[in-house]
Structures are given as C-alpha cells and as structure tokens.
Structure 1
Amino acid sequence: MRCTMTYTDLIFDLYGTLVDIHTEESAEVWEKTALYFGFYGARYTGAELKRAFEREMAARQAKAGQSYECFPDIPFEQVMDALFRKKGICTEGLGQNAAQLFRIASMEHLRLYPHVLEALAALRAKGFRLWLLSNAQRVFTAYELRYLGLGEQFDGIYLSSDYNCRKPDRKFFAALLDEQKLDPARCLMIGNDRETDIAGAVNAGLATLYLHTGLTPPDQEPADPARTPGKAPADCRRYEYEGDDWAALTALLCRL
C-alpha cells in the first residue's frame, strides 16, 4: 500500500496509546519503599513516606507553576532524593533506586498493545518519521522502553520529566517541534487522552488522531465513528478511532 503522505511526522503518546500498563500505588507499595529508605538509615513508615512525598512534590510543583510552566512535571527521583536528605542521608543514586523500586512494586502489568512493533516498522518503511512525546518519568520510562523493545523505534524520544513540563503544556510540544524543526502542518499527534494529547496538540497547531483505548480516562467520550480515518471529510484534521488494534491502525493512517 502506498501512502499519500499528507503527514510526514507521526507523534505518539506512550502509555495507553502504544503500551498497556496498570499500576497500583497501594499502602503496601509505600511500606516496601519505606523499608528501602530504612535500609540506608532514613526511617519512615509507609504512611509517613507517602505524606512526605506528596508535600514535597506539591511544593515543587507550586514553585514551578509560578514560572512559565502551566503544567509542571517534577522528576520523581529528585523528590525521593529530597526525602533522603531530610533524614540526613546524602548518598548519590538512592533517589533513583527508590523511584525505580517504587515503580516496579506498584506495577501490575506492562505490555505492548497487539502489533505495535510491527505497526511502527511498517509506518517507518512507508516513509513516516516517528516521534515519542510522553508524560513520563525518565527514571523508569527509559528502562521500560528498552524492556518493551521500543527504545530504537523512534527518530526522537521526548519525556516530560526532562523538560519540567507535561502535556497539554504548549511548551512541551514546542520542544519537539522547535528542536527537530518540524512543520506543524505535516505532523499528526496520536494519543488516548482528549485533554493532554488531543487538546494540547490542537493548541500547538497539530492534526490529531484520538484513540479511545482501555486506558483512556473513563470520563472522556468514546471516539466518534464518523471521524475514523478514511470516513472523515478530506479537510478534517481531527480523527478518532475506537480500540487499540495497531494492525488496522497502520492501514488507516495511510488514508489520511
């Protein structure tokens, strides 16, 4: 199949778009993380650690929000480091290790949606450039990308914790567009969240493909079948699709 290439650059969200993930930040997870802190002399109960983390994160977000970031994103490991320092422990790397332990302990499953790797390879073979723009923490997402085989699939990977802001902040979209000198008119944002992915991309001047998957926030409306690629008017720049069938989506993307 030969693509018409209305769009040359496809920008993907990660979690809920390409990756099916479920995490549960339960009291048990906080207790296990507190135990790790205690091994190094930073003693908290699980409940104390959770409260301290939330206070520290809120303070840092409030400070960042006083600058130009409308939607600040604070590196998780920096908050963990701060909680070690509050107990007088300044050993380098403990915050990163604690963040990764917390993520693994909270994770119930992590897997690609069906046919994702095949779809990305097929889209690249058809001439698209592929970019990842994700609200994500590098401290654990970089390793998850490698585990899932996604690390080498993109022309560039943009994670919100690296830029201290997250979608729908226009600054985060601009980081990709400006650094890579992309033409917004030739870009298509693909994501599963109407607020962060779709509204943010529209505000940045991008066409969008909204995927209503199992991880789409439950209060958001389902995708409109009338806007499925190939059915929408030729001048439509906001497309929608119900489901996570990447074998079908690959063909649909070539109809835009």
Structure 2
Amino acid sequence: MRYKNYIFDLYGTLVDIHTEEDNQELWEKMRLFYGYYGAVYRSWEEMWKTYGALVEKYREQGEAMRNDGHEACPEIQIQLVFADLFKEKGAQPSEELAVHAGQMFRVLSTEYIRLYPGVPKLLDRLTRQGGNLYLLSNAQRIFTAYELAFLELEKYFKGILISSDYSVMKPDPEFFRLLLQKYDLKPEESIMIGNDEICDIKGAQKVGMDTCYIHSNISPEYTGKGKATYTLMKTDMEKLFQTIS
C-alpha cells in the first residue's frame, strides 16, 4: 500500500447528495410542524429569514470566540438553531424535539442521497489490503450520523470526525490535527481524499499530508490552485483506487 492511512471527505467525495433549503414548500411544512408545538410563524418567509439570521448569529459567535490562533473556521451545532426557532415564538422545546425538527428539515430538503458508483468496492479493497480508513467531514451530527447508517458506511472507518462535534471545520488545520492526534496518525503516512480544493486539499497540506483531489458533480469550481498530490477530474472509484493504493 502507498499509504497507511486513508482519510476521506464525505459529501461530494463518497456521497452524492442534493438538497434544496430555500424553497417555499419546505418552509411551509416546517412552519406547520412548529405550529403543532406552539411556535407559530405568520408566513414561511418569516420562518426562513429567522432561520438564516440564527445561523449567521451562531457563526459570528464562533468567529468571535476564536482567539487561540486557529483559522477562522468555526462550526455551529445546527440543533441549537432549530431549538431557537421554537424559542423565538415563546415555545420551550426539549432537546429531543429540537433534534427531530432538524432531522425533519433535512429529510424535507433532501432531493436525493446516494453513494457514488463503486464506493463500497473501493473502501473494501483498501481495507483488505491493509489500509486504515478515516472520515473527516464538515457536517452536522444530527444529519450525518443517521445518513452514514442509512448508507451502510460506518463499518468501513476506524474513526469518524464530524465538525459539529468539535466546533471547528475544514480547512482549519486544527480539525485535521484533531484526527491525527486522536488516532495517533503520522501525516507522512496519510493521505486526504476530497472534492474541495480549499477545505480538503489546502487544509490537509498545512499539516503535512499528501492529498488527492477528485472533481465531482458537487465540487466547487476548480481553479487548480490547490496543487494536490494527485488530481482526478471525474468521479471514478476504480481510477481513484489505482491512484492512491
């Protein structure tokens, strides 16, 4: 094996997903759900705008707290936003209800979620040949933990780090260091595989890891500035295996 440790991004690298979070039908249904529990919004636009304002508030709070020399890449806990959507209208939700509201939002906003072709075979081959697999994802646990189970991906990874658990996200090098330290991994024995030149590639390079950029249907526009160790301009799991194994 070329590397001892294979660190994967999730969405856009292993998982193809499309969500629509700004449409009227979604927020009309969310408004109805919240109304059942005493949080009555006058219109879907009011609720949608309140949601956006709360997300921005938590992001700004996170940035203000980052005075420790890290890059300004804080992550929020989205369940706090869904809890505050109740509180804005005088309701007092349990933690469980706030989580369920967030998960309902995720289900309603997801048009599809599926593995890219060849993903199970890729992960199985890397494991059988002695590779240690890890997942490093900018994501929300209340969504991603359940989607990993639904897609039957958990079994392949020796470690999974989700950004909402650590209040930091890629490309902040601190998030990569957390993974390396937690599992006692050496950067020179590890490679980061992801579909984002900035979050996945530049972040991993700052801690001394080799990188593999894979351009997928939901990658940001490619600039070539990431200068990954390896670059694949289409999602091809067989080619990826040949490149990194």
Aligned to 1:242: 233
C-alpha displacement of 1:91: 2.8
Q: Secondary structure at the match of 1:35?
A: helix
CA distance in 2, matches of 1:117, 1:193: 21
| TM-score (norm. length: structure 1) | 0.88
Amino acid in the other structure paired with 1:186: E
Paired position in structure 2 for 1:76: 78
Shift of 1:153: 1.2
Partner of 1:48: 46
Q: Residue 111 of structure 1 aligns to a residue in which SS?
A: strand
Q: Contact 1:133–1:159 (CA<8 Å) still a contact in 2?
A: yes
The Cα of 1:222 is off from its aligned counterpart by: 6.7
Q: Deviations over 1:169-214 (max 9, x none)?
A: 1111111011111101111000000011111111122110000111
Instruction: Note the C-alpha offset of 1:47.
Output: 1.1
Letter in 2 for 1:108: E
User: Shift of residue 31 of structure 1?
Assistant: 1.5
**What amino acid maps onto 1:87 in structure 2?**
K
- In structure 2, C-alpha distance between the alignment counterparts of 1:149 and 1:108, rounded to whole Å: 19
Q: Residue 19 of structure 1: CA displacement? A: 0.5
Q: Secondary structure at the match of 1:38?
A: helix
2:109 aligns with 106
Name the residue aligned to 2:32: 35
Give the drift of 1:129: 0.3
TM-score by length of 2: 0.92
CA distance in 2 between counterparts of 1:33 and 1:164 reads: 26
Partner of 2:139: 136
Structure 2 spans left out of the alignment, 5+ residues: none
4+ residue segments displaced more than 4 Å: none
Match of 1:59 in 2: 57
Q: How many residues align?
A: 238
| Structure 1 residue aligned with 2:159 | 156
Aligned-pair CA distance for 1:223: 10
Contact 2:197–2:225 at 8 Å: present in 1 too?
no
Give distance in 2, aligned partners of 1:147 and 1:103. Answer: 14
What CA distance in whole angstroms lies between the structure 2 residues aligned with 1:108 and 1:57? Answer: 22
Please tell me the residue identity of whatever aligns with 2:237: W
Identical aligned residues as a percent: 41
Pick from 126, 130, 139 the counterpart of residue 123 of structure 1: 126
- For 2:244, the aligned partner's letter is L
Q: Which runs of 5+ in 1 are unaligned?
A: 228-236
- Contact 2:230 2:243 (C-alpha < 8 Å) held by counterparts: no
- Local SS of the residue matching 2:154: coil
